[in-house]
Amino acid sequence: MIVAAAVAFLLSLLGTPLLVRILNRLKAGQPIRDELALKSNEGKRGTPGMGGLAFILATIIAYVAGHIALRGLPEAQIGQVRPTITALVVLGTFVFCGAIGFVDDYMKVIGKSSAGLSAKGKLVGQLLVGSAFGIIAMYYPSSNGQTVGSTKLSFVKDISWLDLTKVGAVVLFVLMVMFMSNAVNLADGMDGLATGASVLVVGAYAIIGYWQYQHWCADTTGYAANPNAYCYSVRDPLEVAMIAAAVAAACVGFLWSNTSPAKIFMGDAGALGLGGLMAALAMATHTHLLLPLLASLFVISLMSVVIQVISFQTRGKRVFRMSPIHYHFELGGWTEVNVVIRFWIVAAISVGIGLGFFYGEFLQNVQR
């Protein structure tokens, strides 16, 4: 985890300015919608997008570096040293959702317009990615019969009486990918806002993955970090922790260039990729219903748009000055930096509460 995080951070920190220079040379500035003539957008027209490419690529290289480091440890100590189906699902969802976003960013640059890929096109892409990796997660078990995902709905652990079946679990994953991808994308409207909040959410999953690894149920191969009375029946938790740590660190490196005044935006490549990643991490750690709490800032952002649209179409009135909700507060007099920092605080509180539920459930069961 440490090696992967360090490599991801350094590559993103040093690679993002290089990407900025390349995109500026190609004149690949991100168009700004005319209706977003807000103070926070002054001077941003022409700032390059596609910044998500930097931390996606940094994460992939960091994952390889992490596995090189693992080869120096006894296999029985870690459970596996080879890439796993879990990594394929988590990284695959991250990369391919990012690819959908890249197509959107590319179309905006080529067309010199904010239109990009249609909403229908994005949803179809998310449907295909979610379906493909959801099927892999549910229908490709390990040697002991364990799959990446679970047929049980989960909060901080599987809820035994809520059985979704494999088909239902795949459908749920598709919906999670769609919901989270668009939620992160909508929150990506101010310098550093979505990046900083993503660091907190993905960082929480690095903690959850490592905790599950430390309290991992013994499997038929005998590999288990701590096969005690209370443990987590998940697959490859160290892989999950390593990937989450690498992504969080890569986002911190990217934030150096993305914070106000941003030299680069993550674009849809980064936002859709991060949203898909969060859905995959929730599935792999069996924490479906914990994700909306950990990522409540993104949920609030998406719901503010839904509420605004429904209210305007049914009553002809707006609930917010403008949606997503961060623009509502800017129009209310907050500066961009005020909004970003205060929203980060909200995200941190949500993550803290979510981790509290996760650890509290563990303590409650251990004390029994």
- List, as residue ranges, the binding site for Mg(2+): 185, 268
SS3 label, residue 197:
helix
DSSP string covering 116-145, please? -S-HHHHHHHHHHHHHHHHHHHHH---TTS
Tally Cβ neighbours within 10 Å of residue 295: 32
CA 41 centroid distance within chain = 25
Please enumerate, by residue number, every residue annotated as part of a binding site.
185, 268
Report how far apart, in Å, the C-alpha atoms of 102 and of each of 54, 81, 162, 227, 281 are. 12, 32, 37, 43, 21
| CA trace torsion 248, 249, 255, 256 (10° rounding) | 170
Question: What is residue 288's three-state secondary structure?
Answer: helix
Contacts of 364 (CB under 8 A, 6+ apart): none
